Amino acid sequence: MAGSSNVHIIGPVLALLLVTLTGNLAAQKYDEHAIAARFAPVFFQALGEDERSDYITNFDFDGDWRGDNNWDNAGNPKFPLRAFIYYAVSETETHYFIHYAVFHPRDYKGGAQQGRFLSELMRQGAKIIGDRDPTGLLKHATAAHENDMEGALVVVEKNKTAAEAPRVIFLQTLAHNTFSSYASGQFGVDVERPRLYIEPRGHGIEGDIRDGEQSAQKKFLIYRFTGKAEDPETTKSQSIGYELLPIQTTLWPKAVGLTQKKNPTYGSSHDYAEVSIKIASGKGGDSVRKVKLGGLGSAFLGTAGGENMARPPWGWFDSKRQAEPLGLWFFDPATIIKRDFDLGESFSTTYIRVPFWATKPVK
């Protein structure tokens, strides 16, 4: 993981640098992109035998929002795999909760060809067994599959005074339907940015702790936020700049309103019914905001290898907590962090701004 080139400083980042120098986000005009950019992780992407399939990119890298042609188009060099990371920001009085979602067109565990073939056999086996699987896990078992999205939740403690700088204090990462939790000091940080390790082939994400399997990897690309989406095949450098894309205007709109039907982007849906979170009121208290979400696309359409295996952040789950309502990790990150790190009552779970998905409460 050693070695990195200087980060390119470009126009869109200048305002961010000014915020960084002052250290006081509270004094700045609220800007979700600036917050996400300031704490955007450094991703150490390990490379396997099919390097192009390990490049980080956007879902519509091929110019469309179809999920069922991404496996094939990922192998076509006419489609550059420019570097993008998706993000969403939530905020309480004392903390920012920043979700980062990382997309690859292929999960090629087991090999690009062999893994795909094996996954299709496993898919047929799961259909034959059906409801007779007592664990409920067989339908999620796969070697390779079309589309892949995993990510991280970065929790930032805001500055208490103008002289203090905000800092990343908690981190949770997703790797293959398992969340891992890290407190400050348990993961690497470059100034204000957490360092994250992405495995090759399957693209599970962990905190960069540089031991075990991580240390055994020999080839890496290092993705850093620069505000410019670079292409590894033309950059010819180990250090790749990436840009941020808001989940609100990209992945989310195409998921809204899906029930039993599917669309070109999402092949599976889930009824999220009603979600409740606490929102700060103007009188110093809080109120419960109930939001009727209903049907949402919960897995991307994918037909190569495992079927519809990749999920957006509101579709992520921990296999150890399958009874938990789907999407809680995305919709109410403050409550999840408070529970998982066993924090006291002083840790607020009341949001001071309404998240984008909650702008239409139940009447």
Question: In a structure prediction context, what are the per-residue pLDDT tens digits for the chain, which is 363 residues long?
Answer: 433 333 333 333 433 433 443 344 444 457 999 999 999 999 999 999 999 999 999 999 999 999 999 999 999 999 999 999 999 999 999 999 999 999 999 999 865 555 554 545 554 545 544 554 444 444 444 578 999 999 999 999 998 777 788 999 999 999 999 999 999 999 999 999 999 999 999 999 999 866 666 766 779 999 999 999 999 999 989 999 999 999 999 999 999 999 877 899 999 999 999 999 999 987 778 999 999 999 999 999 999 988 999 999 999 999 899 889 999 999 999 999 999 999 999 899 999 999 999 987 664
Q: Rounded to two decimals, what is the model's pTM?
A: 0.85
2 assigned to some structural domain? no
Residue 338 inside a domain? The answer is yes
Structural domain that includes position 319: 11-358
Residue 5, domain member (yes or no): no
Q: Residue 62 burial (CB < 10 Å; 0-12/13-18/19+)?
A: buried
Burial of 73 (0-12, 13-18, 19+ CB in 10 A): middle
- Total domain count for the chain? 1
| Nearest-angstrom CA–CA distance, 160 and 158 | 6
Residue 3 lies in a domain: no
Element (H, E) at 147: strand 144-157
> Is residue 6 domain-resident?
no
Residue 140 included in any domain: yes
Report if residue 363 sits inside a domain: no
- Kindly state whether residue 309 falls inside one of the protein's structural domains: yes
Rounded to whole angstroms, the Cα distance separating 196 from 172 reads 10
